[in-house]
Structure 1
Amino acid sequence: MDILKINGSGAERRTLAELDDLLGEDHGFVWVDIPVCDAEAVRVLTEVFGFHPLAVKDCTERNRVPKMHAYADHVFVVLHAPEPGDRGHVHYLEIDQFIGRNYLVTVHGPNNPAVSAEAAERETRAVGERLSNGRLLPATPADLSHAIVAALIRNQEEYVEHVTADVWRLEQQVTGGDVADPEAFLTALFRARHGLLTVRTMAALSQALYTHLAALPGLPAASRVSVDDTADRFTRVRRITDGQREYLQGVIGFYQSLLTLRSTMVGQTQNERVRELTEASYAQNEEVKKISAWAAIFFAPSLVAAVYGMNFEHMPELGWLLGYPFSLALMAAAGIALYWAFKRRGWL
């Protein structure tokens, strides 16, 4: 863990063995930054600082939502910063703070193993660099906490800027008709919305915590100013995120309208094709009817001719004078009868 003694002349790095003496000094204050809350860190938080067991437990476990507890001599705050992960996942980078009269203790994590230590310590490292080069000289632990939270808010804003760039790119794709893979495009849209919702939730919950903190009795006037400023900054992040989320929802709605229109047009084309096939099938059936009708009409005379062409010995019509005219008349009558029947049914 890193231990800094901060006073009017700057920041000086100290050791863990000096921590008890540093806390007893009446000038300046101490900043203890704990990258990982291991057994040694738990001992320091419990025995050296005497923090509440539940607060220490919160430092060893992941907290899904920001929280704040006000104790008699210090305030415990849990905040989150976003970190992009694989396939649109957003990691919650947790930073816990114990803000006392003459000390500030910051505890990182625990975080997802996929998150690098550099990303997890981004805010405190940036503030530490400002302390080391003299660009920041906080007068109180509350001032230092304000600087760290301001860095966290800037990271939230940068994440929103990153997602906004994706939103604009997606909007250009959909308006330009450059969507080759609709499934991948929809996935990108909903990943962007997920990122905006995540940061919006972080900012809204954090803003509520600092609004409540500003209303606590006994808060010094100087600290109240910084707390109000922090709450306003979280409110700004929430509003920016809401605006970008509404813009993205417009892109999603536009793309959904395009998909609906395309689906309707495809349906109309399919219906037209089905109609054409139905008409062709109907016309084909009509032709089959005609062919079948004429085949039946010509089959009847053939049947009569086939019977009389057998020349059996005991066929009485063979010796009949009117046999030939009768057979012709029978053929004609059968054909006419079938023609009339098919004509009546509309086959001819």
Structure 2
Amino acid sequence: MIVDCALYRGGFRQEVDGDIREALKAATAHDDAFIWIGLHEPAPEEFETVSKDLGLHPLAVADATYGHQRPKLEDYGDTLFVVVKTATYTKPAEIILGEIMVFVGPGFVITARHGDANPLAPVRRRMESDPTLLATGPSAVLYGVLDEIVDSYDVIAHDIESDIIALERRVFTHDGQDVTEDVYTLKREILEFRTGEDPLLPVLQELVKGRIPLCVRHKERFRDVQDHLLRIDQKIDAHSEMVTNVLTAHLAVLSKRQNDDVRKISAWAAILAIPTMIAGVYGMNFEHMPELGWATGYPLALGTMGSACLLLYRKFKKSGWL
């Protein structure tokens, strides 16, 4: 559905009078005017009306209608079609990806949003608060959309880093908690995030090259967004490596704890072997055995058992097995 449609002239918003065709005619009549149509999960028949009035390429319209596209840039002569992935990060660790399709042409911009993430409302407010930038044409809106989305990527990268630090703390606590599943979950979400942000780099590289006439005017601004995205991409690479290191450390800690448990069990088994052996010998019920007739035989046997156990306990305690 159409969530917003406005005419911008000289960087200032004007409400659209009449249908889209009349608004486009009014926009093309002035060099500093264009219309901005915002759509959310548009139905095919709804997009068909818009595409006919603006002369959009049918392949791009099909992509924008049904979604599920990778980030990409397609140049259809007078119209530029850009697909960008939006991302939100929820707790527990989960990346939810959406899509924004942007059509940029002479005198118009169309933004079609799929998914719950909505970075377009702040983009429109930000652009309307800067009439000088907005007056530079439709490609300024594309810059604003890309800049806002890359900024949201930065927030997500920071949240992921916080979760990695929290996982590290849990790994090195002494409560014996197994966090292997949580580590793999976070690693999977980082990989999913990469599928959204990483393919955007070639799109920005193409815009920065200055080969697209519609966007030449904002080449420097697109370069700034590209630099920002490159830093985020490096962060995500580092995060992925950190999660791998956390998993390695966690497995090492689990192995050490298992070894400690085995040593403790072995130590106690050795301690209990002494009284078990003595009691087993005196439990064989032979008639002629030493000390059976002694009055001090029973306390002597108990004392021997206790002394041997205490001696072994002190030895194992000193060596760190207990």
- TM bin (shorter chain): 0.7 to 0.9
Structure 1 residue 125 corresponds to structure 2 residue 121: yes
Q: Where does residue 150 of structure 1 map in the other structure?
A: 147
Alignment partner of 1:137: what SS?
A: helix
How far did residue 248 of structure 1 move? Answer: 3.6
CA offsets 1:292-333 (integer angstroms, 9 cap, x no match): 5859xxxxxxxxxxxxxxxxxxxxxxxxxxxxxxxxxxxxxx
Conserved 8 A contact 2:7-2:34: yes
- Change in 2 beyond 3 A, CA 1:285/1:77: same
Output the TM-score relative to the length of structure 1: 0.70
Conserved 8 A contact 1:130-1:136: no
Alignment partner of 1:182: what SS?
A: coil
The one-letter amino acid of 2:26's match is L
Alignment partner of 1:65: what SS?
A: coil
* 8, 11, 15: which one aligns with 2:10: 8
Alignment partner of 2:133: what SS?
A: coil
How far did residue 131 of structure 1 move? Answer: 3.5
Alignment partner of 1:106: what SS?
A: strand
Conserved 8 A contact 1:3-1:32: yes
Q: CA RMSD in A?
A: 2.9
Alignment partner of 2:38: what SS?
A: strand
Determine which structure has the larger helix proportion and give its number. 1
* 200, 208, 223: which one aligns with 2:202: 208
Structure 1 residue 256 corresponds to structure 2 residue 260: no
Alignment partner of 2:56: what SS?
A: coil
CA offsets 1:258-298 (integer angstroms, 9 cap, x no match): 21111111122223344455565555554455x35859xxx
* 262, 271, 279: which one aligns with 1:267: 262
- Change in 2 beyond 3 A, CA 1:3/1:74: same
CA offsets 1:160-217 (integer angstroms, 9 cap, x no match): 1222222223333444x2x64724x444433433343333332211112222344474
CA offsets 1:117-159 (integer angstroms, 9 cap, x no match): xxx32x2111211234446632121122101110111111111
The one-letter amino acid of 1:3's match is C
Alignment partner of 1:83: what SS?
A: strand
* 91, 95, 100: which one aligns with 1:95: 100
Alignment partner of 2:74: what SS?
A: strand
Counterparts of 1:100-249 in structure 2 under 5 Å? 100-109=105-114, 111=115, 115=116, 120-121=117-118, 123-134=119-130, 137-138=133-134, 139-175=136-172, 177=173, 180=175, 182-183=177-178, 185-215=179-209, 217-219=211-213, 221-249=216-244
The number of equivalent residue pairs is 282
Output the TM-score relative to the length of structure 2: 0.75
Structure index of larger Rg: 1
Whole-Å separation in 2 of the counterparts to 1:131 and 1:206: 22
Conserved 8 A contact 2:153-2:232: yes
* 18, 22, 26: which one aligns with 2:26: 22
Q: Where does residue 345 of structure 1 map in the other structure?
A: none
- Change in 2 beyond 3 A, CA 1:79/1:61: same
The one-letter amino acid of 1:25's match is A
The one-letter amino acid of 1:22's match is A
Conserved 8 A contact 1:200-1:241: yes
The one-letter amino acid of 2:133's match is L
CA offsets 1:94-137 (integer angstroms, 9 cap, x no match): 1111122322111000x2xxx3xxxx32x211121123444663
Whole-Å separation in 2 of the counterparts to 1:171 and 1:135: 47
